[in-house]
Each structure stands twice: as C-alpha cells, then as structure tokens.
Structure 1
C-alpha cells in the first residue's frame, strides 16, 4: 500500500471517530442551551482543552511555525503576548462570567449577557454585537478553511479550491448535528492530538541534530539572523511598535466569543482554577513546540520553502512513516476543525439568538431555535468557503484581522462589565462600536502609528469610550438583585 493511501486511511479513521462523537452529542441535544452551551456541564479539563483547541486552530501548527521559520526567534513575542492573555483571561474573567451569565436568566451568548447586564429595553446592543460576530467570524472560519486547503493540497496534491470545500464539509457535518457538546468533546481529543504532534515533531528534529544545544548551535551557524529576540531576519532591530503589536495579541482573549463560551460552560464556578491551570500548561507546551518546529525545521530540510506555513507538513512527510505521518497530519486537521466548528457555532448562535429571535421569531420554540442555528451553520459555512477560495491567502494574516476585530469590539465591554457596576448600556454600545470600527479603519491605513497592530488601538479606544460615555450617562443600572450582590 502506498504512503499516500496510508495517510488517507488515517484521515478517514479520524473523521469517522469525530462523527461518532457528533451522533452521540446529537442524541443529548434537546434545546438551545444544550446546542449552544452544552447545558453548562463541562468538567474543568474539558473546558480548558476545548478553549485551547478552539483558540489555536491551524494557526498553532501552520501560522506560528511559519512565522518562526520566516522571521526567527523574534516571532516569539506573539507567543509571549498570547500566553499572558490566556492566563489573565482565565484568572480575571472566567469565574465571574460563569456566575453572572447564569444569574442573568441563563444568558447563552455574549450579546445576550450584555443585553441583560444592563436591562436594556431595546435590542440595539444585542444586534450590534451579533453583526460584529458574524462579520469577523466569517474571516476567522475562512482562515481555518485556508489552512485545510493547504493541508490537503500538500498531502494529496488536490486542487486548492477542492481541498477547501472538502475541509468545510468535514467541519459542517458534526457541528451541524452535535452542537456544543460534540464540539467540546472532540476538542479534547483534538487538543491532545495537537499537543502530541507539537512534542513529537520538534523532538525528532532536535534528536537528529544531536540534542537541543547542538541544534541551537547549528542554527546559529546556518541562519544566525533567526536567533535574536530583538531583531528580525534582516538584522533590523525591533522597534517599540513592533514589540507592542506582538504583545497586544494577548488582549484578544478578553473578547473572543468562542473562547469565552467555555468560561460560561464550566460545570461549576469552583472548577475554574483547575481549568485555568490546565489551559496554561497546555498552551505553554503548544507555543514552545510550534516555535521549535519553525526554528529547527530549517536544519532538517535542504531547500528553503517559499511558503513557511507549510513547514510542519513538510517535516512530517520527510521524517515519519506514512502511517505515523497520517496521525500527525490529522493533528492539523484537528486544529482546523476544533476552531472552525466553535466559530460556526458561536456565529450561528448570534444569528439565531441575537438577530433572528430578537427581530423575527420572538415566539419561536427552543426546538425551532436549534433548527435555525443549524441552518445558520450551513449558510455561514458557504460564505466562509467563498472567502477562503483565494489560494494566495495567509493563515496568519486572516487570523490577525478577525482576532483584532473580536478582541477590540468585545474585550473591553465584557471585562469592564464584570468589575464596574457604574458601566451603562450606552457605554457598552459605544465601546463595541468604537472597538470594531477602529479595527476596520486602522487596518486600511499604514505608515507611522498605523503600523501598530490594530487590536491595541481598538482595545484602548473602546475602553476609553466605555468609561467616558458611562460617566456621562450614568444612572442606577437595573440588574438582577443576585447580579447586584455579586458585583458588590
């Protein structure tokens, strides 16, 4: 049997396994709470691994190794920012968001939480949030499909556009039926598989070179420009703006709906510290492995890759037996699917709960809302496929745009709402609008201050808008008595 057939069989076995999980979860999905939030029943390790797997996506196995391969050690500033964001978001937001969202009539989505937090008599904040979720998540889902297209194109020699469609069908299949439970439990398996791949691949490369010290020495000799924290691959020193832009990636964690959904879905608030520890350990291992793949991958391959984002794929094909390679390449598929499914689910929840239910179907039954959510998954997937069909797209570029948009639009609003009782609904609307629009505009400008990653100015301006508008419009906020008690 040829190596390509062995890899294909591994992929088929993997897909069959996650479809079984989807069918099982389908049988347990009875209403919108089950479909969109898993009945708030996730054990801490499941919540942590699911949050990590849904966060990292193909970016961890393609984007970050590609950046390390092309730019060098200086790309690690992004990893430092992200790791800091993971730890801070779990420790500052997770417990409060789990408690508050449940107390506010079991708010399933972030827009619903904000709407009830301020007891608004109009749907404008909820609808605005839903629109930004749909806009930026379309790009986020597309980034996963781009990664899938590169994977299938490299491994099987398929046309890139066909590969994108195949990947989309795989994601839709179990997200459509199983909902949040299927997504979360498959994320656990996928997260563990991603960790295994990011340990095995760099370990084999480093072992081939005689160990870590010898590998680093070889890299310093063959590509010294890649071994410096404070300069890029051209030898130019990193400026303050470049370092701040990389560290600013961590701010995105405060506003990613698909990650914050895991905070709300933890089984008990008391489970949050355990989940936070698991999340920190898993993500640290992943970042170190991804950086090692990109840096030391240059020592294993004789040619320089024109597309650094394919370094993990090329290393697996060069180093491992086809059967093992199939398992490791399935980790990329795991990363892609574990993020795209979560994003589709959050997007469908925004469309069904925060737009359709608010404006069209106020009397819609819980069972009917699940059907609306499933149709939303299909529709949104088709649009994301269309966005992803450009074969020249870069995973990291598309992720950066979506990450910034969601982080700036929702991060300050959610974070401040959990701690500041004087925040108003008008302040929340201003913050979401200013954060999202800043990213849209900043992205189109360049030169000088506009070279800073758009997430940083978007986050700062959003927070400022919340504080200023809330101060101007401050009045007693009508929230539930239990929520007022928790806010102190």
Structure 2
C-alpha cells in the first residue's frame, strides 16, 4: 500500500500524463502529410505558437537552473532576465516576420530547407552540414533533458533514476510519435500555462509565508553581502564584467535556434506574430523574474549565515524550488508543482525530437536520397526516425548517468543549447539582414560555431590565468561572435556568384 502523500502525487501525475496522451491522439487526426507532422500545416495561432516557443526555449533550466542561480548568485541573476527578455524581444520584433516571409516564399518546413533555398546554389552541401549539426546537437540536448527527467522522478517521487528516465521517455514518445509537431505544440501550450502560473504565483505565496517581520534584503545581506549586489562579487572588477556578460548573453540563443524558429514557420500568418510577440515578451519577463525571485526567497527562508547553501538547496541551488513547495504547500499542490517541473522538461524534449527527426527524414532522406518518396510513406518513415533518435538520446542519457554519477542536471546541456545556438543563430541573423552573405560564408559560420563550443569549454576554460574569465563568460557568447566573424570573412573571400 502506497503512503497517502505518494499516492496523491501519482494520481495527479497520472491525470497530467493522460492529458498529454489525449493531446497526441487528437493531433494525430490532423496529420495528413509531412508538412503537418513537422510544422502543423502552417496553420497555428499566436497563443499556441508563443507559449510553445517559450516553453521549448526555457526547458527545465527555468524551474531548476534559474531558480538555483537566484539562490546562489542573488540579485546579479536578474541580468539573465534582462538578457532573455532582450533576446526574445529582438527575435519576435525584428526577425520573426522576416523569417516567416522567407520560409513561406521558399515553402520551407525545416531550417536546412530555408538555408538551401536562400543561397540557391544547386548543391546540397549546406543542407548536409546543417542537418548533421542539428541532428548531433539536438540528440545530445534531448539526452540532457531525459537525464533531468530521471533526476526529477528520483528526487520528487523516490523512483529509481533509470526507471524515471524511461517512464518519462515513454510518455513523451507516446504523444510525439503519433501527433508529431502539432502534438508537441499543443502539449507545450498546456505545459506552458502550467509553468507560467506555477512560477508567477509562487513568489507571492512564499512572501506571505514569511512571518518573522524582518527585511528580506537585510536578511540576505547578513547571509552573504554579495547576494544583494546587482554586480555580484565585486572583489575582481574584470571578473564581475565577464560574469554579468555571461548571464546576459544567455539570450543570444533565442536569435535563430531551429527548435524555436520552426514555430515561426508554423504560424498561419504574419498578423499572428504581431499578436504573439507581446505574449512571448510578457511570458519571459514574468516567469524569468519570478524564477530568480523564488531562488532569493528560498535562500532567505531556508539557509542561515555561514551555512553552505548547496547542503540545503542542492548542487548549484537546483533544489530550491522543491524545498520551497514542500515546506509551504499541502501534498496536492506539491503534486501539481511536480507536474509543472516535468512540464518544463518534457516541453523541450518533444520539440527537439521533432526537429532532429525532420533533419534526417526531410533533409537527408527526402531531399537527398529519395526525392520521389510518397507523402504517406515519408510520414511513416518520419515517425520511425523520430522513435530511433529518441532511443539514441535515451541510451546516451543512461550511459552518462552510469559513467558520471556526480554530474549536475545540466552539466552536458552546453553541447545542446549553446551548440545549436552558436551553429545556427549567426547564420539566421546574417541571412535575414545581410544580402551579400554567401553560401561559403554560411558554411564557415556553422562550422566555426559548431567547433568553438567544445573548444571554449574544454580547452580555453582550462588555460591558467584566462580560463576563469571564459568560464564566467561561458561558451555561447565567444562562439557566437567568432561564428559571425567567420561568416563575414568568408563572404568577402568567396562572394555570391550571379
């Protein structure tokens, strides 16, 4: 017989998972061809696209990573909020309509589709490079999210890590396999609503639970003076600058990442983008601000002067959200928040799997190997490739868990989020705003971004003297910058031909 609290959690999660599967079944009725499977037939409205894009872009990072950053870094973590709001704002206000217009003109349903049509060289090189990079980084990113699923089941429900990872994997695949992109978007919309209200409401409830009559800011200052400084640890001014830049530059990943920009392809018209941009901005501002604030309130409520915060709140503060809800709410609400945490993770897994599958089935199989394939057969092949890629990601996640049991939840997500962003965002930006940009320049941008992520992570950050600065800056900003520079240089060396 299960304990009453655990039984309540399982009942709530059972209802949540049942809703996801129902969404997949309903979505499957609308999948008539490969365009429906990968971009929902380009008929989606702004609410679904905006919430889906934000849920996919944030993942478990928002509920576990950013709340933990607020607990450990303090006020300086609000620089992440600024960076993400700017990234999302630039993306929706200045890039989305241009990208939608171009992809409709080329009848593109994947980012490699768009790139090949845009440069129009008659060769398949850029499609091959883009699809290969996308498949590799996306599978690694998905494996990190499956890893987060296993850890969430283990810490929240007491279920064995491996069992939890497999159960989460099966649930996601149940609705994505049958419903494709449409199921991913609809489920992301549902999960995004859970994430939004769960995050925005929690700081108010936590604040009301504080009954000691003291000042929160003064209390945080006593725990650690750096917590209440917007500049963080100011003992080294140069290191402070690099840290703030590292926080703010996280928003660069929203300027062209395929798993987000495929949403702009799927929206039914540009007028929906004009409406959706305000939804996306408001979602980002409120949820990111709430996440950092949750971390700060958790640090105030559950740690004391001289105490190691990670001993109470978990490695990198990742457990602050869970500690807070378990100390504030009754078991039914705790169960709902567990579903919200899983929503954040699963909303990223489903979208990424569909994007990786499209790179292989559409960009390799249909466009290179078998251009004459029938739509019905291609849809069936797309489902099988989706399943195969998901299994590969699951194997990677379980293997890493065995080989590196002391990892943090997001320790290898850097190869996913940063790798995808550094490889594709500069190419999307330059292709939309710089007419002379050539195919050789685009290839140079992608290859440079692709290689710089592991170089900065494993080589530059280990260099004595300078490594610490690049560790604070992280890999995305320098990789992004070098990718743009490489694109400009190679475009000048190998300009477009008529």
Q: TM-score, normalised by structure 1?
A: 0.93
Stretch deviating more after TM superposition (32-41 or 248-257): 248-257
- Partner in structure 2 of residue 485 of structure 1: none
Stretch deviating more after TM superposition (189-198 or 458-467): 458-467
- Partner in structure 1 of residue 193 of structure 2: 192
Per-residue deviation at 1:68? Answer: 1.7
Per-residue deviation at 1:252? Answer: 1.2
- Partner in structure 1 of residue 268 of structure 2: 267
Aligned: 1:417 with 2:431? yes
Aligned: 1:460 with 2:481? yes
Contact 2:21 2:171 in 1 (8 A): no
CA distance in 1, matches of 2:32, 2:214: 55
Stretch deviating more after TM superposition (387-396 or 113-122): 387-396
- Partner in structure 2 of residue 381 of structure 1: 390
Contact 1:148 1:336 in 2 (8 A): yes
Per-residue deviation at 1:166? Answer: 1.2
Stretch deviating more after TM superposition (419-428 or 53-62): 419-428
- Partner in structure 2 of residue 300 of structure 1: 301
Aligned: 1:37 with 2:39? yes
Tell me which of 55, 58, 63 is aligned to 2:57.
55
Per-residue deviation at 1:471? Answer: 2.2
CA distance in 2, matches of 1:212, 1:240: 35
- Structure 1 residues 58 and 151: CA distance shift in structure 2, 3 A: same
- Report SS of the residue matched to 2:44: coil
Stretch deviating more after TM superposition (416-425 or 283-292): 416-425
Contact 2:85 2:251 in 1 (8 A): yes
How many residues align structurally? 475
Per-residue deviation at 1:440? Answer: 2.5
- Partner in structure 2 of residue 355 of structure 1: 364
- Report SS of the residue matched to 2:318: helix
Per-residue deviation at 1:357? Answer: 2.2
Q: Any idea what the Cα deviations from partners look like across 1:308-328, whole Å, max 9, x if unmatched?
A: 212212222222111111112
CA distance in 2, matches of 1:162, 1:246: 34
Tell me which of 461, 472, 479 is aligned to 2:493.
472
Per-residue deviation at 1:224? Answer: 3.2
CA distance in 2, matches of 1:118, 1:211: 64
CA distance in 2, matches of 1:12, 1:254: 36
Contact 1:431 1:463 in 2 (8 A): yes
CA distance in 2, matches of 1:31, 1:292: 45
Contact 1:146 1:394 in 2 (8 A): no
Q: Any idea what the Cα deviations from partners look like across 1:295-338, whole Å, max 9, x if unmatched?
A: 11123336723322122122222221111111121111111111
Stretch deviating more after TM superposition (204-213 or 120-129): 204-213
- Partner in structure 1 of residue 339 of structure 2: 330
Per-residue deviation at 1:174? Answer: 0.7
CA distance in 1, matches of 2:42, 2:367: 23
- Partner in structure 1 of residue 446 of structure 2: 432
CA distance in 2, matches of 1:258, 1:81: 19
- Partner in structure 1 of residue 162 of structure 2: 161
- Partner in structure 1 of residue 306 of structure 2: none
Contact 1:422 1:476 in 2 (8 A): no
- Partner in structure 2 of residue 486 of structure 1: none
Per-residue deviation at 1:358? Answer: 3.3
Task: Describe how 1:309-348 pairs up with structure 2 within 5 A.
Answer: 309-348=318-357
- Partner in structure 1 of residue 455 of structure 2: 441
- Report SS of the residue matched to 1:247: helix
Aligned: 1:10 with 2:26? no
- Partner in structure 1 of residue 113 of structure 2: 112
Structure 2: stretches of 5+ with no match in the other structure: 304-310
Per-residue deviation at 1:450? Answer: 4.2
Q: Any idea what the Cα deviations from partners look like across 1:185-209, whole Å, max 9, x if unmatched?
A: 1111111100111123222211111
Per-residue deviation at 1:262? Answer: 0.9
Contact 2:73 2:232 in 1 (8 A): no
- Partner in structure 2 of residue 251 of structure 1: 252
Q: Any idea what the Cα deviations from partners look like across 1:58-87, whole Å, max 9, x if unmatched?
A: 111111111222232223322321221111
